Structure 1
Amino acid sequence: MKTYGNIKVAIADDHEIFRDGLRAMLQKQQDILLVAEAANGKELIEQVKSQEPDIVISDVKMPVMDGAAATRHLSEHYPQVGIIALTMFDEEDLIIDMLEAGARGYLLKNADKNEIIEAIKSVYQQQPYYCRHTSNKLAQMVAKSKFNPYKQKQKPEFNEREVDIVADICNGLTSKQIAEKIFLSVRTVEGLRLKIMEKMEVKNTAGIIIYAIKNNLYKPNNV
């Protein structure tokens, strides 16, 4: 597992005001070093070639060359670079395009500072990152896509209770609802939920849903 030094980050977005805000936030982080900015995919490829970032945060919609095309090129020529897609809430198909092109995670543009930092550090450690605000619909779309970061990993074992809780989470139940269903305290269910996330190496509910469907722990009713 990589240790944190200065994680070198490049950002790509055609909106200068958004880049300004992202730059100001990243420059305040002690263990993150912003090394490059780009306004389109072509510029991003040139910056990655010259600056060798560890992480790229790229908008999906950009002029000249869009995020998916740039991601395909970077994944082929610079596979060591972790790419995080940056998107609006209603661009599910574009998120799938980015992940299938080689991105290792995605963030919605309304993500807060802490989530952006968490995404950078997760992808830097070669762990996928799914935005906390992922809808159940999008999580299932990601799970059914060609994107699969779990192929080479040794599969952890889940007991019957954990599998049942995973199914309840995938069906949209809250910890309180699960606790009432299986006659446990909410605190106990939260503890089991954390244990499940640790086994899956995911950070949130979206991660649980995507992992569960990808690894046949849960089958959606509409499949």
Structure 2
Amino acid sequence: MYYNINIVIADDHEIFLDGLALMLSKHQGFNVLGRALNGQQLLEIVNRENPDIVLTDIRMPILDGIQSTRQILSAHPHTGIIALSMFDEENLIIEMLEAGAKGYLLKNAHKDEIIDAVVNVYQNKNYYCAQTSSRLATMIVRSKFSPFNEPKIVLNDREKTIIQMICQQQTTQQIADKIYLSKRTVEGYRVKILEKIQAKNIAGVVIFALKNNIIKEEDVLY
């Protein structure tokens, strides 16, 4: 599917910023409208360009990503914001989500995941980095961030069982063996479940399962 997504990016490390801009601009349908080295520059560019998506570092001079997110969404509520984070910034990721960001990525994320995150947030979906730790998933569940605004999703018992097993890092073959189904049937269930709960990866499944009391924190293996 072809997209025409206008993007602004911000990071105070110019080499990283340039590399990210180059990678995104090479993807068909992505238009990088501006680059900012601090939060103040980011606000100025966003106010001028009104992009669909903003990818922003959390730690920046003048205005950090959290402050910038609040101000951007106050003036441009339909802008999708994705936080760029280091691996040890879990508390800051929570603050970004509570400020209104719809997703987050670690800075070492693969380019395919970055593209996936941009497309999903553009579609007004939440995106959780594939490298999300169980600790961060639990923090998201306990936070003020409310990722599920859709009507209540109805799951049958078999779907709930498969979700529990996914959260315990069981493979498709292991799940098939335990519930006496073919591997192909379980694969079909997994695809259907991901579509139903709008999850892109295991992180999304874990957060959904915890939020909806399908699995307990102590039973998550991640």
| TM-score bracket for the superposition, by shorter chain length | over 0.9
What is the correspondence of 1:124-135 to structure 2 with a 5 Å cutoff? 124-135=122-133
* Unmatched runs of 5 consecutive residues or more in structure 1: none
- Cα RMSD for the two superposed structures: 1.7
Runs ≥4 residues deviating over 6 A: none
Deviations along 1:143-180, one digit per CA (max 9) or x if unpaired, are 221111213x1122111011111122223333333233
> Cα offset for 1:35?
0.3
Question: 8 Å contact 1:148–1:214 — kept in the other structure?
Answer: no
SS at match of 1:221: helix
> Cα offset for 1:12?
0.4
> Cα offset for 1:220?
2.2
Which amino acid letter does the alignment assign opposite residue 75 of structure 1? Answer: L
> Cα offset for 1:44?
0.7
- Supply the distance in 2 between the matched residues of 1:33 and 1:206 (Cα, whole angstroms): 28
SS at match of 1:130: coil
- The match for 2:186 among 175, 184, 189 is 189
SS at match of 2:109: coil
Number of equivalenced pairs: 219
What is the correspondence of 1:131-210 to structure 2 with a 5 Å cutoff? 131-151=129-149, 153-210=150-207
- Supply the distance in 1 between the matched residues of 2:72 and 2:63 (Cα, whole angstroms): 12
* Unmatched runs of 5 consecutive residues or more in structure 2: none
Which amino acid letter does the alignment assign opposite residue 117 of structure 1? Answer: I
Equivalent residue number for residue 115 of structure 1: 113
Deviations along 1:80-137, one digit per CA (max 9) or x if unpaired, are 1000000111211111111011000011111111111110010000000111111222
- Supply the distance in 2 between the matched residues of 1:209 and 1:64 (Cα, whole angstroms): 35
Q: Normalized against structure 1, the TM-score is what?
A: 0.92
- Supply the distance in 2 between the matched residues of 1:87 and 1:173 (Cα, whole angstroms): 28
The question of 1:37 aligning with 2:35 is answered yes
% identity of equivalent residues? 53
